[in-house]
Amino acid sequence: MENLIALLVAAPLLGAAVLLCGGRRLDKSGHWIGTVLAAVSFGIGLALFADMLGRGAEERTLHQRLWSWIPVEGFQADIAFQLDQLSMTFVLLISGVGTLIHVYSIGYMEHDERRRRFFGYLNLFVAAMLLLVLADNYLLLYFGWEGVGLASYLLIGFWQHKPSAATAAKKAFLVNRVGDMGLSIAIMLMFTTFGTFAFGPVFGAVGETSEGKLTAIGLMLLLAACGKSAQVPLQSWLGDAMEGPTPVSALIHAATMVTAGVYLIVRSGAVFNGAPDAQLVVTVVGAVTLLFGAIVGCAKDDIKKALAGSTMSQIGYMILAAGLGPIGYVFAIMHLVTHGFFKAGLFLGAGSVMHGMNDEVDMRKYGGLRTYMPVTFVTFGLGYLAIIGFPGLSGFFSKDRIIEAAFAKGGTEGWILGGVALLGAAITAFYMTRVMLLTFFGEKRWQPAPDPDKTPGIEPGVEAHPGEMPHPHESPKSMTIPMIVLAFGSVFAGGFFAIGDRFLNWLEPVTGYAHGHPPVSALTVTLATMAVLVIGVAIAWAMYGRRPVPVVAPRGSLLTRAARRDLLQDDFNHVVLVRGGEHLTRSLVYVDHSLVDGVVNGTAASVGGLSGRLRKLQNGYARSYAVSMFGGTAILIAATLLMRAV
């Protein structure tokens, strides 16, 4: 079965090559080619999964080495894959959800003239993401990491004729380059410390390495994770990335790409276990981001950007859990998988709403859609219940275990992290209830169709004419069937994982597990979580369910206005980085002109001036030379007599 591992990557990679190089002759069939090859990868993943289940826990790690990539003396890099329980979890998530989103895109992108190219980019992304999670060394992982960045850039900016989409793609690319620098430095540190960057030798030598070196490597890995997973301080790109087609938001910014940072930290658990200071920074970043994203999600009227804030927050939960070490590794991945179901479903539901509302994204212009789009309403509603942690649904089993793990950290740190996680749960219940109420309940607040050429954020391909009132309707089956499948995952996946600690037992051989020292019982944590959930829902109902919703948002408080501007993250970046960079550049130019050029030009001027003066001594007159010789002779005689006298 080991020989099948490479085919997981090869199938979507072949699809990308065929679709991007095949030309317009494939325009009518390209979407089917891309979808089938994504499904082939998922089928191979299922076959490997079935084979893995038939093996003992100690025999489930499979390796496949294809060839030597960079064979240099003292430096060996292989194209080799490692398939274990952790990477298998990601393979099934990436290829499974990826296939569903391919199917959804068949209907969603039906009227786009460049649909073939879009499916080529989707295949490229799936191939790169699979390479990332299957690599058996950090250098090959980095290759997939960069491939994911390239594919996300192409997909976010797919409608590059929209200035907002082109700008968002560049922003995502540049912000991620900062994180990628962290990963490249971490790989360099690994090679200089361990002499290799293969997983096995690196993790095996961790116990013999100083804590300082491990901390440096861990912090660089965290920087990389912050870029890909949109964590503070590299989170500014995620909201703007919603300018891409909605299936892109579901695939990249809900289920796969933004989870790459979580995978990197959990895969590198041995490094972080030996660097407690780096682990502490990971938990702080996760805790700050889960609140940051939740607060931003509360103030967004754009349905996709509200879900983007939610994604940022939920990934914060995963990063927080990963920072807890063996106490939280399993639950970080468990929440990652359940989140992949319900958040992908929520994004696809948002796309379905936009499909029926002339691609309008402002929730204040929705209202009462539950009767017009029943399938979308039910599937979106189940995703909503799952993400807020409604008892019995997926989020209840995964997010609550993260909150328990945070308290289990023990001491003051445990109380702080657990309190932050509980507060995040309350805010999640508030903003997601707000999304549900604004979209599916209340009075109709529909507005005439906007002009895509004049209105930012409107996706091309709108069939309605500007000024025409929307006629909400259910989406075609190619869109609703993937939403239904994801809704089943939103409802049942968490409970399936939790029964008999099935998911914990599956991952523990790879990630390890420790119970921690919780200061309160699991029942107490569950009751507290339910209490804050009810409070969040009640506040949202009081604000948006019992009162008329104005089409134009009120000015709001200072915090609300700041949250609408992403808590001033772009303003901060502009002041600190852009203007700071401008001032630094001006200072360097001044130093260059005044000091460097001054020294160089001053030296040249001094030599030139001295040469000019010395040149006057060579005037061509014999009498001048005679006087010089006479003077020189007199000086020598006088000096000789003086020395004898002394």
Spatial separation of the C-alpha atoms in residues 306 and 295, rounded to whole Å? 10
Work out the burial of residue 535: count CB atoms within 10 Å of its CB; fewer than 13 is exposed, 13-18 middle, 19 or more buried.
middle
Alpha helix positions (H), 157-210 = 163-194, 199-204
Spatial separation of the C-alpha atoms in residues 129 and 148, rounded to whole Å? 6
pLDDT at residue number 333: 96
CB 289 within 8 A of CB 229: no
Question: Using the 8-state DSSP alphabet, how is residue 197 labeled?
Answer: -
Question: Using the 8-state DSSP alphabet, how is residue 82 labeled?
Answer: E
pLDDT at residue number 455: 53
Question: Using the 8-state DSSP alphabet, how is residue 24 labeled?
Answer: G
Element (H, E) at 76: strand 75-83
Spatial separation of the C-alpha atoms in residues 111 and 291, rounded to whole Å? 39
Concatenating the DSSP letter of every residue in 482-535 gives HHHHHHHHHHHHHHHHHGGGHHHHHHHHHH-------SS-HHHHHHHHHHHHHH
Radius of gyration (C-alpha) of the chain in whole angstroms: 31
Q: pTM of the predicted model, to two decimals?
A: 0.89
Sign of the dihedral through C-alpha 369, 374, 375, 380: positive
Amino acid 593 reads H
User: Helix, strand or coil for residue 64?
Assistant: strand
pLDDT at residue number 136: 94
Distances (CA, A) of 599 to 591, 594, 595, 602: 11, 8, 6, 5
Work out the burial of residue 337: count CB atoms within 10 Å of its CB; fewer than 13 is exposed, 13-18 middle, 19 or more buried.
buried
Spatial separation of the C-alpha atoms in residues 13 and 11, rounded to whole Å? 5
Kindly state the tokens that stand for 193. 């410390």
* 3-class SS shares of the chain: helix, strand, coil, % to 5: 75, 5, 20
User: Helix, strand or coil for residue 78?
Assistant: strand
Distances (CA, A) of 620 to 54, 385, 614, 625, 629: 103, 102, 13, 8, 14
Cis peptide preceding 233, ω within 30 of 0? yes
Average pLDDT along the chain, 646 residues, taken 10 residues at a time: 91 95 90 95 96 89 90 85 96 94 92 92 95 95 94 92 90 91 95 92 92 96 94 90 88 79 96 95 96 94 93 95 95 95 94 90 92 95 96 94 92 93 96 96 82 54 61 90 95 94 94 87 93 96 90 85 86 81 86 84 86 75 79 87 80
- Among candidate residues 421, 176, 190, the one with its CA nearest the CA of residue 323: 421
Phi, psi of 468 (to 5 degrees): -80, 140
CB-CB neighbours of 423 under 10 Å: 16
Spatial separation of the C-alpha atoms in residues 243 and 304, rounded to whole Å? 9
CB 225 within 8 A of CB 265: yes
- Residue 334 sits at the vertex; the CA angle it makes with 566 and 268, to the nearest 5 degrees, is 80
CB 124 within 8 A of CB 117: no
Phi, psi of 617 (to 5 degrees): -70, -25
Kindly state the tokens that stand for 604. 């040249």
pLDDT at residue number 453: 57
Spatial separation of the C-alpha atoms in residues 253 and 350, rounded to whole Å? 14
Cis peptide preceding 201, ω within 30 of 0? no
Amino acid 644 reads R
User: Helix, strand or coil for residue 619?
Assistant: coil
Alpha helix positions (H), 195-275 = 199-204, 211-228, 237-240, 246-250, 260-267, 269-273
- Among candidate residues 253, 247, 281, 245, the one with its CA nearest the CA of residue 265: 281
pLDDT at residue number 255: 66
Question: Using the 8-state DSSP alphabet, how is residue 468 labeled?
Answer: P
- Among candidate residues 546, 321, 523, the one with its CA nearest the CA of residue 418: 321
CB 349 within 8 A of CB 374: no
